[in-house]
Structures are given as structure tokens and as C-alpha cells.
Amino acid sequence: MTTRTSPAAAAGTWDLGDLTVNRMGFGAMRLTGSVAFGPGVPGDRDRSIGVLRRAVELGVDHIDTAAFYFSERLSANELINRALAPYPDDLVIATKVWPGRDPSGAWWWATPAQLRGQVEENLRQLGCDHLDVVNLRVPPSRATGSIAEHFGALAELRDAGLIRHLGVSNVTADQLAEARAIAPVVCVQNAFGLGAGPDDHELLRVCGEQGIAFVPFFAIAGAGREAGAAAADHEEVLAVARRHGATPAQVRLAWTLHQGPHVLAIPGTADPGHLAENVAAATLRLSGEEVTRLRSLR
């Protein structure tokens, strides 16, 4: 069991339905050495297992993963199972479906009828009898289209007891509204960070009004996305980092958490040092002026 006085709890908590989590969480994508939508390369099994165990020791109780996070030899879900099972009672594991990868790494997108197989694959890999949170990850090709058929299929799996709570990922405000008309949505997982545009900020605001967690990915990487953070940070980010004795990555995470009490962070890493730095960002308090000035960056 984690405690609410642990480092990851320094930014407070939020409820995903009936599940309370620390706002500083962990993303499992980089544990395998792979990147979400790029070629997989091998990672280090023992180091990744150690990072997961250390994350929980630091108070992380919200881990984001997916069955399609795998590389040549490692699977994020199976690493989580190996490192943390039997799972602590307060650990919340969120996964995502709709995208898939075959054993060669080639991508495919599930039909509504195939979502059950993807859910069952996550259950098998994680060693669970139900999934805490499942996000419907919307493909780029459906950026402005309906997600009702796919989300409705997940809602049926929730009713069947395979899923506890539902979320959506990579969505628009209209798609969020469409999903909420079908079943409760506990979180929205979209790309967001410094340099985010007006539409992104508006969706974040809407989520706050509706009591929905907003869970940014690429909060550190920014425009670098799957490839990781850009080599050079904006001078304003560097200046804030110097004032606080922090790293630019910590400033980016702290700024993201400052966007609202419903905002959760899920930075990912396979490096124990970076893990400690990321979690410590939960303690970083930026001034109102700093938050405003950083928002203006593009």
C-alpha cells in the first residue's frame, strides 16, 4: 500500500470513478525500449522491473500501459505483471485498445467486435480478472468521425464485468460528448504540454467542469513526441528551471499539473534516475506568473 505522504502524492489526488490515485503517475511505454508508434528496440528487463518497483515505492499508484507496448523481447504488460503482482490494493492500471500490433510489430486497428479480444489480451498479460480503466484510443483517421460503435462495444464489456471504468484517448470535445452519452467517462488521455493550442486548453477546461480526469501524454516530450524531449528547451523553460533548481523536464511536468486539480501526469522512463526526477516534479510549485508566461510559449 502506498501512502498519501509519499513523493508521488505531493501534488494531491484525483478520483477515477471510485478509484483514488495520486496525480503523479507513470507511463509504461518506454519500459520495453520501444516507442508507441515507431519501431521497437530491446530494453533491459531487470532495469525495467526495478523501475516499476521503485515507482510504487515512491507512491505511484496509477500506471498507464497497453498491450501494444512491446519490443523485440519485452512487453510492458508482462513487465508490470512480473514486477508488481500480486498487485497492491490501491494500484490502478489503465490500458488502451483499438490499436494493435501483430508479432512482427505491424499495426492494425480493431473493429468493434475485435475489442473484446484486445481486452482479454490485456487481462491475460497483466494477470487480472478485470481491468481498472480502459481507454479507447482513437486513430488519426477518425479524428473528426464517430466513435460511438467502438465505445459502445467497450461499454458492453464494462457491463459484463471485464472493465471497471472507461476513458477515451486522442479525442475531440465532440467525441467526448458522444462517448458520455453512451457510458460514464472517467478520463481523457490526449497529447498536451507546453505549446498546446487553444482547442487543447478548451478540452482540458471542459474535462475539469465535468469532473473528468485529463491525462496528458507527451507532457515532457512536447513536439518530440515518441522520440522524446527535444534537445534544446526554450530559454523561458530553462530560466524557470534555474530559479527552482529543477530540470526542464520537471518544469514541464509541474506546469502541466498546475493546469488544474483534475490533471494527472504519466511521465514514462526506463531510467531510475529520471524516474526519481519525474516523481519529484510533484513537489515543484510554480508561481502564477511563471505558469502564465510558460503558457504563452509556442
User: Annotated active-site positions, please?
Assistant: 69
173-180 helix and 148-159 helix, angle to the nearest 10 degrees: 40
DSSP 121-185: HHHHHHT-SSEEEEEEE--GGGTTS--HHHHHHHHHHHHTTSEEEEEEES--HHHHHHHHTTS--
255 close to 33: Cβ distance less than 8 angstroms: no
**DSSP letters for 11-35:** T-EEEETTEEEESB-EE-GGGGS--
Backbone phi and psi for residue 175, each to the nearest 5 degrees, phi listed first: -70, -35
